[in-house]
Chain A
Amino acid sequence: MNAPMIEVRSLTFAYPHQPPLFADFSWRVEREQAWAVIGPSGCGKSTLLYLLAGLRKPTGGQVRIGGQPLTRPRPHTGLILQDYGLLPWATVAQNVALGLRVRRFYGPDGRHAPEGERLPEEEIARRVDFWMERLGIAALRDQYPAQISGGQRQRTAIARTLAMNPDLLLMDEPFSSLDALTREDLERLTLELRAETGLTTVVVTHNIEEAVYLGRRILILHHPPHRQPFIVENPEAGDPDYRQRSGFQARCNRVRDLLV
């Protein structure tokens, strides 16, 4: 399959009665690439992510994921939001299983759930246990979101998404409400998971260091309307110790200059 993972063709988008955020914007993301999207508040970066997730429709142009035009949330795309999106009335284990239960609710119809995927109870339990172990939250399985920390909630949200075997992971400021140490911990975890699973990732952030650490390519959104993608190559990203290397600060400064 040579189709790019994400292909944005002449995208135009504006909220009702608002000036356009994107005007004839085109952009490509190839498979297994690691992107960061950064820009000032209100520049439309979260909107871009929602468009890629199929939660909003373009007013003009087209978004194609995996070679297919996008009309609704795609079963193989995972979305992590800033606000974790956990059900407050479900335990950690139940939350991690939620995506799989939704899939079973619809059956493998190709729209809400991938075709041909069988999800008996043992398979759901197996995947849930596996990803809770991998994310280090297995001990919390019977706790409720109100009882665990912000970092643990985000790990739960990540486990929930990965349990569905996505090939594309979209993250909208996933760590911005966490303290610095937890944030760096989860950023490192993101790198590990990417290396293990070969996911294509797009991380929206307003944090320059996070963008430089996570994004091998960085899309910079200045002020809307966005027409041409402005991309910074950042080939050293992916190294878990990149922060300590000499080139890191230089790259951050370059991105900072470009943002102004």
Chain B
Amino acid sequence: MTRTGRRVSLLDVGLALIVLLIVWQGASWLLDKPILPPPLDVLRAFVLALPQDLGRHLLVSAWRVVVSILVAVAAAVPAGLALGLSPTADRLASPFIYLLYPIPKIVFLPVVILLLGIGNVSKVFIIALILFFQMLVVVRDEAAGIRPELIASVRSLGAGRRAIFRFVYLPASLPAVLTSLRVSIGTAIAVLFFAESFATTSGLGYYIIVETWGRLAYAQMYAGVLAMSLLGLTLYLVVDGLQRRLCPWLTVGGEQ
């Protein structure tokens, strides 16, 4: 998106990619060291490794992220709506959110690993925890920000609490969830990478740090980095696409 919100054209993105590749190739020639292989070597390593262990680790990482997202959404939407709708609940929860929200949850990773082990559960838990806090606050604010006149209008149509939930609050929270998700994907991947770089035996973080970097297999390491970048990019585009399809009213222009 440009600053004016216009979609960046595919052509422009393609051109930017080519420029980056040229810069990469140039830097690789200049440096002439194994630690910065040229793009083609990396691409070759990527294609060769994908059907083997790189593909396996990629799937493990992707699985962990997707499950974390689903868990976070399943927890944050009801909780956010509950807080947004009930001033009492909000007043009780606010001090806790005030304390916990600013803490970078990643510092709890050693605790989580100690308590939940080095398998998938601890990874999913920490990522879901981070996403949960992001989404909770946004959903809560969206629900609390719905104008009372809108509620009065829908109530006058005969809607009681259940119908207002079904027809107003639930659909109102969808763009909030998707936006906060889109914004948090980068963080989620970063946390996953960090969580996978120690005390584990699978995942792209493990592949990059232990299996390739640790063995000085630089082209393969770059392939791993490429895979992780593609994972983040794909997730971002999927969420962005979902938002475009499910929330078309956010991107339509019009007079006020």
Name the one of B172, B247, B249 contacting A146, with C-beta atoms under 8 angstroms: B249
In the complex, whether B254 has a CB less than 8 A from a CB of chain A is yes
- Chain B residues with CB below 8 A from A147, complex form: 252-255
> On chain A, which size bracket covers the interface?
35 or more
Interface residue ranges of A69-86 to B (CB < 8 Å): 73, 75, 77-79, 81-86
Q: Which residues of B contact A102 (CB under 8 A)?
A: 154, 157-159, 163, 167
Q: Would you call B248 an interface residue if the criterion is a C-beta within 8 Å of the partner chain's C-beta atoms?
A: yes
B44 at the interface (CB under 8 A from A): no
In the complex, the chain B residue whose C-beta lies closest to that of A77 is B156
**Contact digits for B148-159, partner A, Cβ 8 Å, 1 yes 0 no:** 011011111111
> What distance in Å separates the Cβ of A1 from its nearest Cβ neighbour in chain B?
22
Is A124 interfacial (CB 8 A cutoff)?
no
- Taking a contact as CB atoms under 8 Å apart, the answer to whether A144 and B167 are in contact is no
Q: Are B247 and A89 in contact (CB under 8 A)?
A: yes
Closest to B250 in A: A89
Q: B153 — which chain A residues lie within 8 A by C-beta?
A: 79, 81, 83-86, 157
Cα distance A98–B164 in the bound complex, in angstroms? 11
Residues of A within 8 A of B (CB): 50, 53, 55, 73, 75, 77-79, 81-90, 98-99, 101-103, 105-106, 112-113, 143-149, 157, 160, 164
| A81 CB, min distance to chain B CBs, angstroms | 6
Q: Is the CB of A83 within 8 A of B147?
A: yes
Q: Is B244's CB within 8 Å of the partner chain A?
A: no
Measured CB to CB, the closest approach of chain B to A59, in angstroms, equals 19
Please give, as numbers and ranges, the residues of chain B lying within 8 Å of A73 by CB-CB distance: 155-158
With A75-B158, A77-B156 as known contacts, state yes or no: A85 contacts B163, CB within 8 Å: no
How far does the alpha carbon of A75 sit from the alpha carbon of B160 in the complex, in Å?
12
Residues of B within 8 A of A148 (CB): 254-255
Q: Enumerate chain B residues within 8 angstroms of A103, measured Cβ to Cβ.
A: 157-158
> Which of A77, A82, A87 sits near B171, CB closer than 8 Å?
A87
A-side contacts of B167, CB under 8 Å: 87, 98, 101-102, 105
Bound together, the chains give a CA A160 to CA B153 distance in angstroms of 11
Query: Can you list 18 A-B pairs, Cβ within 8 angstroms, ordered by A?
Result: A73-B156, A73-B158, A81-B153, A84-B153, A85-B154, A89-B172, A98-B154, A99-B158, A105-B162, A105-B163, A106-B160, A112-B160, A144-B252, A146-B253, A146-B254, A146-B256, A147-B252, A148-B254
Q: Roughly how many angstroms separate A149 CA and B255 CA in the complex, as a whole number?
A: 6
A80 to B175, CA, bound (A): 27
- Shortest C-beta distance, B155 to chain A (Å), equals 6
Expressed in whole angstroms, the minimum distance between the Cβ of A105 and any Cβ of chain B is 5
The A-contacting residues of B in range 161-190, CB under 8 angstroms, are 162-163, 166-168, 171-172, 174-175
CB distance from A178 to the nearest CB of B (A): 13
Residues of A within 8 A of B249 (CB): 88-89, 144-146
* B156-A55 in contact (CB<8A): yes
Query: Known contacts being A81-B153, A87-B167, A147-B252, is A112 close to B159, with CB within 8 Å?
Result: yes
Contact A99 B252 (CB under 8 A): no
B149 touching A106, Cβ below 8 Å: no
Q: Which 8 A-B pairs have the closest CB atoms?
A: A85-B153, A147-B254, A79-B156, A99-B157, A144-B249, A112-B158, A83-B149, A146-B254
